[in-house]
């Protein structure tokens, strides 16, 4: 089948016609991938080249093409949104619906099944399944818990962004931070993930949603998504704006959604007493955060939280997010600025690198 494969760090993805995919094992499903967004985490893998060769694309939707033994709740033809982090459903963490603490689910970071295998191969050699999904391929095999059935009339070309950006951003606001109505929120970085944090904060009823983002198009976009103020941090003193808007108190919540350790520090500085800083972006491994422990934590009672895939439990949260979209409370279509064919995937990666648009969706196997 057709797929885009990263074969070495910092290279264009290669379009191949002979990628092979295994039949689903017990508990797995074969999915015909229809659409996949391109996320900054794909770019991070491209730049670092960890786990090549790899099929990237982890923000996807499609339809069930086959089910493995023991899978009873999904049938061929069901429409599904795919979740990178697929909980095993059996461990202690899963019993608490803490899928991001499930050791099996966390294998997604190695682009392999928990047992070290991958459903993909090329000429007999293993090809990794990028971030648990591997959606830049016409078919992929994923755990059944990572394929969540959605109503037949769901427009998958926009619903695919739920898979990563929306689960991550809205989940960070609603699940991780549990943003309170009437509170003040600062979002640092307004890519697909930051725009979804803005929407999550709005759904939670935040009174102030301040966005800091150097790219003008993305600031304008954030205002349309529900931000109440948008600042260019390269031209305006962000601290001044935040203090002005919060009566000198600082915000209740700051979300780092750009992937920078330095911005985590900005979040710590601009939250007020009892404030919450949520690390959503994935800073480079060598990035550090320096904090004044005693003042920040003991006197000011701040907390720093990390948020992986928005702490979402796919079976619970993906239908909930579709529900918000149906009620008109969540804008999915507005997150998608461009549509490309699979053969044009490298153009989509260039757009992401240049922060052009918000999310580009790749039509992997467009419906005729
Ligand atoms: N926690 C998770 O589970 C999870 C999931 C998906 C993505 N991520 C990470 O989230 C981050 C954002 O992903 P994305 O796809 O939205 O990326 P993106 O590249 O589309 O957006 C990042 C944005 O940050 C902005 N930015 C850069 N420097 C800034 C600064 N100093 N101040 C304010 N804004 C700044 C950029 O202009 C850009 O608009 C990445 O690090 C990605 O790897 C994490
Ligand atoms: Zn992602
Ligand atoms: Zn588990």
The whole-chain average pLDDT of the chain stands at 96
Domain boundaries along the sequence of the chain: 3-163+331-363, 169-308
Q: What is the pLDDT of residue 365?
A: 87
Alpha-carbon distance 234 to 259, whole Å? 17
Q: Is the CB of 190 under 6 A from ligand 1?
A: yes
Among all bound ligands, the one having the nearest atom to the CA of 259 is 1
Bridge partners of residue 260, in order along the sequence? none
Alpha-carbon distance 308 to 278, whole Å? 10
Q: Is the CB of 355 under 6 A from ligand 1?
A: yes
Q: CB-hemisphere CA count at 13 Å for 331? A: 19
Instruction: Reply yes or no on whether the pLDDT at 292 is more than 90.
Output: no
CA–centroid distance, residue 85 to ligand 3 (Å): 10
225 pLDDT tier (thresholds 50, 70, 90):
very high
Q: How far is CA 134 from CA 31, 220, 314, in A?
A: 11, 32, 17
3-class DSSP assignment, residue 69 = coil
Q: Do domains 3-163+331-363 and 169-308 have the same CATH topology?
A: no
State pLDDT tens for residues 166-186.
999 999 999 999 999 999 999
Evaluate whether 24 touches 129 at the Cβ level (below 8 Å): no
295 pLDDT tier (thresholds 50, 70, 90):
confident
**CATH 3.30.1360.120 corresponds to the domain 169-308:** no
The percentage of residues in the chain with a pLDDT greater than 70, rounded to a whole number, is 99
DSSP 23-91: PPPTTEEEEEEEEEE--HHHHHHHHH-TT-SEE---EEEEEEEEE-TT--S--TT-EEEE-SS---SSS
What is the Rg, in whole angstroms, of the alpha carbon atoms belonging to the chain? Answer: 20
Pick the CATH number of 3-163+331-363 from 3.40.50.300, 3.40.30.10, 3.90.180.10, 3.20.20.10: 3.90.180.10
Find out whether the peptide bond into 254 is cis, omega within 30 degrees of 0.
no
The percentage of residues in the chain with a pLDDT greater than 90, rounded to a whole number, is 93
To test the pocket of ligand 1, the residue of 259, 306, 308 to mutate (highest count of ligand atoms within 8 Å of its CB) is 259
Q: Which two tokens stand for residue 88?
A: 């095993």
Instruction: Reply yes or no on whether the pLDDT at 76 is more than 70.
Output: yes
State pLDDT tens for residues 6-22.
999 989 999 999 999 99
Instruction: Reply yes or no on whether the pLDDT at 49 is more than 90.
Output: no
Q: How far is CA 197 from CA 160, 191, 233, in A?
A: 17, 10, 18
Among 93, 94, 5, 11, smallest CA distance to 48 is for 11
Evaluate whether 281 touches 260 at the Cβ level (below 8 Å): yes
Q: Is the CB of 44 under 6 A from ligand 1?
A: yes
Atom of ligand 1 nearest to the CA of 359: 20
Q: What is the pLDDT of residue 9?
A: 92
State pLDDT tens for residues 112-142.
999 999 999 999 999 999 999 999 999 999 9
Alpha-carbon distance 201 to 183, whole Å? 9
Q: What is the pLDDT of residue 363?
A: 97
Instruction: Reply yes or no on whether the pLDDT at 289 is more than 90.
Output: no
């Amino acid at each position: 089948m057709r797929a885009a494969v990263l074969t070495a760090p910092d290279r264009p993805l290669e379009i191949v016609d002979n990628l092979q995919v295994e039949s689903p094992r017990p508990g797995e499903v074969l999915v015909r991938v229809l659409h996949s967004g391109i996320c900054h985490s794909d770019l991070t893998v491209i730049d670092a080249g960890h786990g090549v060769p790899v099929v990237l694309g982890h923000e996807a939707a499609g339809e069930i093409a086959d089910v493995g033994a023991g899978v009873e709740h999904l049938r061929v033809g069901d429409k599904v949104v795919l979740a990178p982090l697929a909980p095993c459903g059996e461990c202690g963490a899963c019993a608490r619906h803490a899928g991001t603490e499930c050791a099996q689910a966390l294998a997604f970071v190695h682009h392999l099944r928990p047992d070290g295998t991958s459903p993909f191969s090329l000429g007999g050699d293993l090809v990794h399944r990028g971030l648990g999904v591997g959606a830049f391929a016409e078919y992929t095999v994923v755990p059944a818990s990572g394929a969540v059935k959605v109503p037949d009339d769901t427009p998958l070309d926009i619903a695919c962004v739920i898979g990563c950006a929306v689960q991550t951003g809205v989940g960070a606001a609603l699940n991780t931070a549990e943003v309170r109505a009437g509170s003040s929120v600062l979002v640092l970085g307004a890519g697909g993930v930051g725009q979804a944090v803005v929407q999550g904060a709005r759904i939670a009823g935040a009174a102030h949603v301040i966005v800091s983002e150097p790219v003008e198009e993305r600031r304008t976009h954030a205002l349309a998504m529900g931000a109440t103020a948008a600042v260019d941090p390269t031209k305006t003193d962000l601290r001044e704006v935040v203090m002005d808007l919060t009566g000198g108190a600082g915000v209740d919540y700051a979300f780092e959604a750009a992937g920078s350790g330095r911005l985590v520090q900005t979040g710590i500085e601009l939250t007020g007493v009892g404030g919450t800083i949520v690390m959503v972006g994935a800073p480079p491994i060598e990035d550090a955060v320096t904090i004044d422990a005693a003042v920040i934590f003991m006197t000011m009672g701040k907390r720093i939280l990390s948020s992986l895939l928005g702490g979402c439990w796919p079976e619970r949260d993906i239908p909930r997010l579709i529900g918000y979209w149906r009620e008109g409370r969540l804008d999915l279509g507005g997150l998608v600025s461009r549509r490309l064919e699979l053969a044009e995937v490298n153009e989509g990666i260039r757009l992401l690198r240049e922060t052009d648009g918000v999310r580009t969706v790749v039509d992997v196997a467009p419906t005729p």
